[in-house]
Amino acid sequence: MTTPAAYFRLVRVGWVLVREGVVSTLPVQEMPPSARFLSKVAGLFARRRSAKEDRSARLAHAIERLGPSYVKMGQFLATRPDVVGVAIADDLSALQDRMATFPMAEAVATVEASLGRTVSDLYVKFGEPIAAASIAQVHPAIVRDAAGERRVAVKVIRPGVRQRFAHDIQAMYAASHLQERFLPQTRRLKPVEVTRTLEQTTRVEMDLRLEAAAISELAENTKDDPGFRVPKVDWERTGRDVVTMEWIDGIKMSDLHGLRAAGHDLDKLADTLIQSFLRHTLRDGFFHADMHQGNLFVDPQGHIVAVDMGIVGRLGKKERRFLAEILYGFISRDYERVASVHFEAGYVPSHHDVASFAQAIRAIGEPIHGQPAETISMAKLLTLLFEVTELFDMETRTELVMLQKTMVVVEGVARTLNPRFNMWKAAEPVVGGWIRDNLGPKRILADLKDGAHAALRLAEAVPEIAAKTEKFSRDLTAMAEHGLRFDAATAEAIGRSEARHGRWGRVALWVIAAALVYIAAVVS
């Protein structure tokens, strides 16, 4: 239930965005006249800033003012260009997750409370923080075990971040409910569901045991992969609020001069990066969904090391197959097959015409085949795809959007390493191999095997299904003879809920009105 306090927080968020000049710089060319008018009015209340400061910088200032929870929200929405638009998603992708560090004493207290041991017992040395983000900060440390002393990185949760996020997420729910109510054309994007996904993703990220588990799973999946690895987790020194892992002595991928000086082959690193990401996606169905330059290092052996596994994505076998068929259809110019896959997967509502959708897909695919492969921008391709799917009422598929956005980020990193990077050529060994193994004769054998397992599970469940069916039949017969009745307690509970909902709705409207009057008075 959305409370008046949530609406008040939402008003505050809106006011900060207005004051920092974000609202007045939003793209409104295709918006209704009322939206363009509001954008101009918002410009009157914006702070005067340098003409060189673009929307991205203004957005960064606004989110910094709103606090750590909104930095995390912004980073999440950067993975959802279908919701906020490609331009805003690009602005949010540039957010620097650098926050002020919290005191050493608080970090020590958090570690000891989480692990149940003193810091001096856990670590030979526990250093001052070297980096701080919206969720946690990192400390260098040294541990001693049977193999001797070794350096580690200790990630410690930010005190109070869970309570702060629990309050701030309510404003997001308020915004999404208002969006669904007053902007019906955006309901296909499922704003409330997107907010729910943000809440779940961030709650998972705030349990550092789950991040450690993600690192461990990716390490197991990639143990035999060439040129890619993740840090080792020290499970003895890992809990809900702290994770200890191997210290990485490497060069950040953003440091091109440092990479060249160390003798690394940047073109090869670009190929390895995209191939590793595609292996994780197609082979394993589990991928690092935040692979920007700040989370990628190159160690002295030339291996790419990925850190910060707070955000991960998963694809089921069916989704991986559809993805491969869509990619293969674009490459082979079989647009009818691409369209059919969208309908088979349920991505596009069945009342639309397959041939018309294939025509729209052709409008995206043909320009690609008319360009040199190294000039094709995945970001531009996704922009066109979002525009087309909107025309055909394609509902948001969270797992695919996260994959697509991550692919854009990974491609961008690869192009900084090699400006003439040919994504299609680099991807062919992985994508082509997966297609040959999974869309050919091997696919039939795998489907038969999966079908046999499903039939066995169904046979085992038949007695339970029969019993439930018999009970449902008796209940249905009784309902037909005597009608559907609520007991007194249920009817009373329904009445109380409806009354409370109406009362809180009226209170919320008064809170919003009072807040707007207050803001107008302050400005005047």
Q: Flag whether pLDDT at 523 surpasses 50.
A: no
Instruction: Write the CA distances from 247 to 150, 225, 251, integer angstroms.
Output: 8, 21, 12
Q: What is the pLDDT of residue 97?
A: 58
- Position 187: which residue type? R
pLDDT given for residue 176 in this prediction:
84
Instruction: Give yes or no for a contact between 345 and 325, defined as CB atoms under 8 angstroms apart.
Output: no
Q: What is the 3-state secondary structure (H, E, C) of 356-411?
A: HHHHHHHHHHHHHHCCCHHHCCHHHHHHHHHHHHHHCCCCCCHHHHHHHHHHHHHH
Which range (349-363, 371-385, 491-505) has the least confidence? Answer: 491-505
pLDDT attached to residue 419:
86
Least confident residue range of 165-169, 351-355, 451-455: 451-455
* Greater model confidence, 417 or 390: 417
**pLDDT at residue 467 is higher than 70:** yes
Nearest to 320, CA basis, from 434, 476, 157: 434
E strand or H helix at 494: helix 488-523
> Which tens digit of pLDDT belongs to each residue from 231-276?
999 999 999 999 999 999 899 998 999 999 999 999 999 999 999 9
Q: What are phi and psi of 321, to 5 degrees?
A: -65, -45
DSSP for 10-50, written as a single string: HHHHHHHHHHTTTGGGS--TTS-HHHHHHHHHHHHHSPP--
Q: Given the structure tokens 């019906």, which residue do they identify?
A: 184
Q: What is the DSSP letter of 294?
A: G
> What band does 209 get if pLDDT is binned at 50, 70 and 90?
very high
Q: Report helix angle 4-19 to 55-66, nearest 10.
A: 140
- What does the pLDDT look like over 115-158, one tens digit per residue? 999 999 999 999 999 988 888 999 999 999 888 899 999 999 99
- The half-sphere exposure of 168 on its side-chain side, counting CA atoms within 13 A, is 21
At residue 514 the predicted structure's pLDDT band, cuts being 50, 70 and 90, is low
Higher pLDDT, 137 or 387: 137
Report the share of the chain in percent with pLDDT over 70.
Answer: 76
Degrees, nearest 5: CA angle 156-145-233: 40
Cα–Cα distance, 113 to 241 (Å, whole number): 9
* Residues above pLDDT 90, as percent of the chain: 27
CB-count exposure of residue 116 (10 Å: 0-12, 13-18, 19+): exposed
pTM, two decimal places: 0.71
Phi and psi at residue 232, to the nearest 5°: -80, 140
Q: What is the pLDDT of residue 522?
A: 47
Q: Is the dihedral of CA 160, 164, 167, 169 positive or negative?
A: negative
Cβ neighbours, 10 Å, residue 140: 17
Whether residue 19 is predicted with pLDDT greater than 70 in this model: the reply is yes
Structure token digits, residue 448? 């038969």
Higher pLDDT pick, 226 / 426: 226
What was the pLDDT predicted at 490? Answer: 64
Closest to 264 in 3D by CA, of 225, 304, 307: 304
Q: Which two tokens stand for residue 178?
A: 């208002």
Question: What integer best gives the mean pLDDT of the chain?
Answer: 79
Distance, in Å, from the CA atom of 69 to the CA atom of 135, rounded to the nearest integer, reads 8
Task: Specify the residue for token string 């087309």.
Answer: 388
- What local confidence, expressed as pLDDT, does residue 397 receive? 67
Place of tokens 């085949």: 369
Query: What is the average pLDDT across 35-64?
Result: 74
Amino acid 432: pLDDT: 79
Q: Give yes or no for residue 505 having a pLDDT over 90.
A: no
DSSP state of 243: E
Q: Could you list the active site residues? A: 290
Give, in order, the Cα–Cα distances in Å from 8 to each of 11, 493, 509. Answer: 5, 28, 10
pLDDT digits (tens, 9 = 90+) for 320-363: 887 777 777 776 788 888 888 888 877 788 888 889 988 988 88
* pLDDT(5) > 90: no
Q: What is the secondary structure of 412-453 as a DSSP string?
A: HHHHHH-TT--HHHHHHHHHHHHHHHHSSHHHHHHHHHHHHH
Q: What confidence score (pLDDT) does residue 138 get? A: 94
Q: HSE-up of 391 (CA within 13 Å, CB side)?
A: 12
Q: Give 378's Cβ-side CA count (13 Å radius).
A: 21
Q: What pLDDT was estimated at residue 498?
A: 58
Among 79-93, 159-173, 206-220, which range has the highest average pLDDT?
Answer: 206-220
In the predicted structure, residue 399 carries a pLDDT above the cut 50: yes
Contact between residue 195 and residue 176 where contact means Cβ atoms under 8 Å apart: yes
Check whether 449 has a pLDDT greater than 50. Answer: yes
- Segment 281-313, tens digit of pLDDT: 989 999 998 888 888 999 999 999 999 888 888
